[in-house]
Structure 1
Amino acid sequence: MSERGALRVRLDLLAREVAKFGVVGAVGLVVNIAVSNLLWRYTDIPTVRAGLLATLVAILCNYVGFRYWTYRDRDKTGRTRELTLFLLFSVVGAVIETGVLYAATYGFGWDTPVQSNVFKIVGIGIATLFRFWSYRTWVFRALPDGETLPAGEASADVPPADGEALPDKGVVTTEGVAQGRAVPVPAPAQAAAVRAEADPARR
Structure 2
Amino acid sequence: MTTTTASNPSLTQKLRGLSGEAVKFGIVGLSGVVVNFAVFWICINGLHLASLRSNIAATLIAIFTNYLGYRYWLYRDRDAASRKREITLFLLFSGAGMLIETGVLGFSVYLLGLDSHFEQLAAKVGGLALGTVFRFVSYRTWVFKAVPEPVAETAPATATAEATAAPAGAAAVVAQAELVLATERIRLAKAE
What's the TM-score once normalised by structure 2's chain length? Answer: 0.73
Greater percentage in helix: 2
**Aligned partners of 1:110 and 1:133: how far apart in 2?**
30
Q: Which amino acid aligns with 1:21?
A: F
Which residue of 2 is the match for residue 95 of structure 1? 99
**Aligned partners of 1:114 and 1:62: how far apart in 2?**
25
Q: Aligned residues: percent identity?
A: 46
- The unaligned stretches of length 5 or more in structure 2 are 154-192
Which residue of 1 is the match for residue 187 of structure 2? none
**Aligned partners of 1:50 and 1:28: how far apart in 2?**
15
Aligned: 1:7 with 2:11: yes
**Aligned partners of 1:55 and 1:130: how far apart in 2?**
15
**Aligned partners of 1:38 and 1:126: how far apart in 2?**
23
Aligned: 1:112 with 2:116: yes
Q: Residue 10 of structure 2 aligns to a residue in which SS? A: helix
Shift of 1:95: 0.2
Aligned: 1:70 with 2:66: no
Shift of 1:7: 1.7
Aligned: 1:128 with 2:127: no
Q: Which amino acid aligns with 2:24?
A: K
Q: Which amino acid aligns with 1:17?
A: E
- Check 1:72–1:5 CA distance in 2 against 1; reply closer, same or farther (3 A cut): closer
What's the TM-score once normalised by structure 1's chain length? Answer: 0.69
Match of 2:47 among 37, 43, 53: 43
CA displacement, residues 46-85 of structure 1 (integer Å, 9 cap, x when unaligned): 1111111100000001000000111111001110000000
**Aligned partners of 1:126 and 1:142: how far apart in 2?**
24
Q: Which amino acid aligns with 1:141?
A: K
Aligned: 1:145 with 2:137: no
Shift of 1:146: 3.0
**Between Structure 1 and Structure 2, how many residues are aligned?**
149
**Aligned partners of 1:33 and 1:8: how far apart in 2?**
36
Q: Which runs of structure 2 are paired with 1:76-91 in the superposition (5 Å)?
A: 76-91=80-95
Which residue of 1 is the match for residue 21 of structure 2? 17
Task: Flag the structure with larger Rg.
Answer: 1
Shift of 1:145: 2.9
- RMSD across aligned positions (CA): 2.1
Q: Which amino acid aligns with 1:6?
A: S
**Aligned partners of 1:14 and 1:34: how far apart in 2?**
29
Q: Which amino acid aligns with 2:20?
A: R
Q: Which amino acid aligns with 1:30?
A: V
Match of 1:32 among 33, 36, 39: 36
Q: Which amino acid aligns with 1:56?
A: L
**Aligned partners of 1:45 and 1:56: how far apart in 2?**
15
- The unaligned stretches of length 5 or more in structure 1 are 148-160, 163-203
